Amino acid sequence: MKTFPKSLGVWALSVAAAAALSACATGMGKDECVVADWRTIGFEDGLHGYPADRIGVHRVACAKHQVAPNLAAYTEGRQRGLVEYCQPKNGFRVGLYGGGYANVCSGPTEQSFVNGYQWGRQIYEARGELNNNQARLRNARDGLAKTDSAIASATAELLLPHLPKERRIFLAQELVQMGQERSEFISRIEHLTARSQQLAVNVKQLERQSPYPL
């Protein structure tokens, strides 16, 4: 398993995640604000790993309706939600699906959560790299197929009787260029195929080594 210094890896993800998570709109309307159970709202926010300043987003949404959040109830609920969120298996799940970590866990569970998160994140990134490479491979194969079709079409036209000289010269030049493009596509396909095989092996190794079931 790769190791990421917290100051560089998880910390960087934490900063980005905290900004993104805290900026999410709550979608709370007037009726929801008026009858809000702030302990439950806090629990749900904790369960989703939102940072503490998430309540500020609720405050802004409900201020339009002259309603202020119950900070004590919200905080109590959020802490209970974080107990569920900060489990190692959940950290793995969050990382596996590309979620951000807003540095909300603390105490004895923090490091185990981070370890789980890093495992999941490694697999997520390895799978993403494989998927991107496979998409490039598909594009290269499509390009080769289109080039082969264009070569066949140009070759067939060259065989036509009474083809004007200027058109014949143009097609011959096009065939030279398309031949070069075809060689480039073949070379790219060979490279991307080998890379895909390499990346697939890497993904399988990470999945087998994972301490958490997939």
pLDDT tens profile 109-132: 899 999 999 999 999 999 999 999
DSSP-assigned states of every residue in 47-60: HTT--TTHHHHHHH
> Do 131 and 205 belong together in one domain?
yes
Contact 103, 11 (CB under 8 A): yes
Q: Which of 95, 26, 21, 24 is nearest to 58 (CA)?
A: 26
Tokens of 39: 């302990």
The verdict on residue 91 lying in a domain is no
The verdict on residue 214 lying in a domain is no
The verdict on residue 3 lying in a domain is no
Number of domains in the chain: 2
The verdict on residue 119 lying in a domain is no
Sign of CA dihedral 189, 192, 195, 199: negative
* Domain span holding position 178: 124-209
The verdict on residue 42 lying in a domain is yes
How many other CB atoms are there within 10 angstroms of residue 150's CB atom? 15
The verdict on residue 130 lying in a domain is yes
Residue with more model confidence, 3 or 79? 79
The verdict on residue 97 lying in a domain is no
Report whether pLDDT(213) > 50.
yes
Residue 38 CA: distances (Å) to CA of 46, 58, 193: 12, 10, 54
> Do 79 and 143 belong together in one domain?
no
Tokens of 92: 């793995």
> Do 81 and 128 belong together in one domain?
no
pLDDT digits (tens, 9 = 90+) for 155-211: 999 999 999 999 999 999 999 999 999 999 999 999 999 999 999 999 999 999 999
Choose the final residue of a domain: 54, 85, 116: 85
What's residue 28's pLDDT? 83
Kindly state the DSSP code that residue 83 receives in the 8-state scheme: H
> Do 140 and 202 belong together in one domain?
yes
CA–CA gap between residue 107 and residue 171 (Å, rounded): 72
pLDDT digits (tens, 9 = 90+) for 29-48: 888 898 999 999 999 999 99
Residue 20 CA: distances (Å) to CA of 96, 117, 167: 18, 18, 58
> Do 131 and 203 belong together in one domain?
yes
Q: Read off the pTM.
A: 0.80
The verdict on residue 112 lying in a domain is no
> Do 68 and 133 belong together in one domain?
no
Alpha-carbon 6 to chain mean position: 20
> Do 76 and 29 belong together in one domain?
yes
Alpha-carbon 191 to chain mean position: 24
Choose the final residue of a domain: 85, 116, 136: 85
Kindly state the DSSP code that residue 207 receives in the 8-state scheme: H
Choose the final residue of a domain: 64, 85, 106: 85
